[in-house]
Amino acid sequence: MSQFGQAKKTTAAPEEVRPGGASPDVRDRQHWPKAIVGYAVDYVPGHSTGRHHHDRDQLVHGERGVMTVRTDDGAWIVPPGYAVWVPAGVVHEVRAASAVAMRTLYLRRDAGVPVGPRCRVVAVPALVRELIGRVVTLPREYPESGAEARLVAVLADELAGLPSAPLDLPLPRDRRALAVAEALISDPSDGRELAEWGRESGASARTLARLFQTETGMSFGRWRQRRRLLAALERLAAGEPVTGVALDLGYASPSAFIAMFRRTLGAPPTRYLKDPTAISGPLG
C-alpha cells in the first residue's frame, strides 16, 4: 500500500517523534548556535513521525529510500534525488515508503536561503547530497573561520538555487472532493469516473470537476494521473518491477504505463530512476 495511505507507526525506528513537536534530539539541535544544522536518522519501512512541526525551516532529504511528506494542504513524494522544503511552523508528517536514511537540515531564517511559505519539492544534485552528508556530522560548535564554516557557506549558496520539481499532490478543501481524493490516495488504481464518485460523495460530476480544478489547480483526470504517477515513483524507487506496478495501478499494459511516464517525466522509468536530476521533462 502506498505511504499516502494510513501507514501504521512502528516503534522499531531509531527515533520517536511526538505529535505536536520534534524529538528531544531535534529540539536540542534547533537551539544550536549555527544557522544551519544537520540531523541523521534511519527509518524502517512504514515508519511515521506523526504530526509535528519545527521552529526552523527543514529540508527533508534522504540518502536512500522514499518518503512522503503530508500536511493538511497536500502531499509531497521524496524519491531519490529530491527533497522537500517544509517551512517553519508547518504541521507535517513524514512516512517511510521503504527503508530510509534521512539526512535532513534545519535552517534559521537568517541562513540566507529563501524557503517560501509553502512546502515544495526540489531536485538535489550530487554535490548538494555530499555536502548534506558532511554537514549532518558537524559538532555543535565549530570555528567560524574554519573549513567547516566554509563547507556550510557553500551548502547555503547551493541550497538557494535548488530547482523546484512539481512532485506534489494538492488536496481539495471541500469535504466532498476531499473524500474522493482520500479514496484515490488509498487506492490509486480505482478507475471510477466522476459520475460514480458523485453518487458516493453527494455532489454532481460537474460540481466535483469544478472543485478539483479550482481547489487543486488540476482537472480531476490530471489529478488522478498525478496520484498514480507518484504512487508509481514510490514503488519503483523501492525496487518493485515496472510490470507489476503498471498493472496494479490500472494501466492496460506496461507499455501504456511507460508511455505515460516518458510523456510526463521526460524519460522511461529505468532511466529516470537511475538519475532523476538529469531529466528535464516536467510533470504533466
Render pLDDT for 53-100 as a digit per residue (tens, 0 to 9).
999 999 999 888 888 898 988 888 887 788 999 999 999 999 987 788
Residue 17 has pLDDT above 60, yes or no: no
* pLDDT band (50, 70, 90) for residue 180: very high
Give the separation between CA 271 and CA 281, rounded to whole angstroms.
Answer: 12
Higher-pLDDT residue of 128 and 230 is 128
Question: Which of 114-123, 207-216, 256-265 is least confident?
Answer: 256-265
What single-letter DSSP state applies at residue 9? P
Residue ranges of domains in the chain, CATH in brackets = 24-160 (2.60.120.280), 171-278 (1.10.10.60)
Strand partners, 42: 101
- Which amino acid is present at 120? R
Q: How many residues does the chain have?
A: 284
The pLDDT-based confidence of 24 (bands split at 50, 70, 90) is low
**269 versus 1: which is more confidently predicted?**
269
> Is 131 exposed, middle or buried, given 0-12, 13-18 or 19+ CB atoms closer than 10 A?
buried
100-114 b/e with 16+ CB inside 10 Å = b? bebbbbbbbeebebe
In the prediction, which pLDDT does 50 show? 92
Burial of 237 (0-12, 13-18, 19+ CB in 10 A): buried
pLDDT tens-place string over residues 196-245: 999 988 899 999 999 999 999 999 999 998 899 888 887 887 788 999 99
DSSP 240-262: --HHHHHHHTT-SSHHHHHHHHH
pLDDT for res 22: 56
Q: What is the pLDDT of residue 282?
A: 47
Is residue 137 over pLDDT 70? yes
Per-residue pLDDT at 9 exceeds 70: no
Tell me the β-bridge partners of 76.
Answer: 69, 168
Whole-structure pTM over 0.85, yes or no?
no
Quote the CA–CA distance of 268 and 273 in Å, as a whole number.
9
Please give the average per-residue pLDDT across 123-146, as a whole number: 90
